[in-house]
Amino acid sequence: MELIVVGAGPGDPELITLKAINALKRADVILYDNLANKILLDYKKDSCELVYVGKTPYQKYNSQEEIHALIKENAQKHEVVVRLKGGDPFVFGRGMEEIIFARGIGMKTSYIPGITSMLAIGLCDIPLTHRGVSEGLWIVTGTKKDGSLSRDIELALQSKTTLVIYMGMKNLPFIIEAAIKAGKPNTSAALIQNASLPSMKMVKGNLCDLHDLATQHEITHPALIVIGDVTQVMP
């Protein structure tokens, strides 16, 4: 009984690791997420079963408990269970929760890192750090468990370092409100949807205009919010 928690990368099927591909080839069953590119499932062996664990944000499909139950159920039937997750499993991916659960039921576990979606924003000519522009990086969720805005967003807005917000589209108006409160409505920012995929879209502007820009350009989930002067390094 083995659980391999595998990062699928941001979307482009070439942005997966060789180690991840080898795990997909070994899998007896693959439990895959909504954000993992389905093309990657072609690496599976013929006998491998596929189980869609369609977690769509803001809609309750499978709860984490249901996913744990699926891991257990499949571990009883199969030797190698692969859990394929978008980006990196340990960046807002709840990968460690699944590893803790699996170890708790006596499974051997391993983790294969993936390229987190944030790294694909470089494809839009936005570096995460840039000499003389940004000395660091905050990575914060835009949707806390209780739906409220993380206080770390307010703190990050005080600094000059880059702020990347995952799962933030629904709370974008509140993020803008926080920026106005912090006296930073004109901070440069960008939105990137479907980073690394052919359908990738990006808009840039002042943070306070980002919601209108998103509506205008129909930018929706899955998207990342990038705040800071790094969005202006390449005009």
Where along the sequence are the contacts to ligand SAH (CB under 6 A)? Answer: 10-11, 35, 57, 85-88, 91-93, 116-117, 166-167, 192-196, 221-224
Q: Is 25 a catalytic residue?
A: no
Distance of closest approach, residue 27 Cβ to ligand SAH, in angstroms: 19
Peptide bond into 222 cis (omega under 30): yes
Pairing status of strand 137-141 against strand 80-85: unpaired
Position with the least CB separation from ligand SAH: 87
Q: Is 167 a catalytic residue?
A: yes
Q: Are residues 164 and 140 in contact, defined by beta-carbon separation less than 8 angstroms? A: yes
- The residue (of 28 and 128) whose beta carbon lies closer to ligand SAH is 128
Query: Catalytic: which of 55, 88, 169, 204?
Result: 55
- The residue (of 49 and 52) whose beta carbon lies closer to ligand SAH is 52
Structure tokens at 65: 């408990």
Say which residue the tokens 């929706």 belong to.
Answer: 220
Query: Catalytic: which of 118, 167, 169, 202?
Result: 167
- The residue (of 106 and 147) whose beta carbon lies closer to ligand SAH is 147
- The residue (of 1 and 139) whose beta carbon lies closer to ligand SAH is 139
- For the chain, what is the largest distance between any 2 Cα atoms, rounded to a whole number of angstroms? 58
Q: Is 55 a catalytic residue?
A: yes
Identify the three-state secondary structure at position 55: coil
The alpha carbon dihedral of 181, 212, 170, 53 has a sign of negative
Distance of closest approach, residue 43 Cβ to ligand SAH, in angstroms: 19
Q: Are residues 23 and 82 in contact, defined by beta-carbon separation less than 8 angstroms? A: yes
Distance of closest approach, residue 13 Cβ to ligand SAH, in angstroms: 12
Distance CA 225, CA 163 (A): 8
Provide the annotated active-site residues: 33, 55, 167
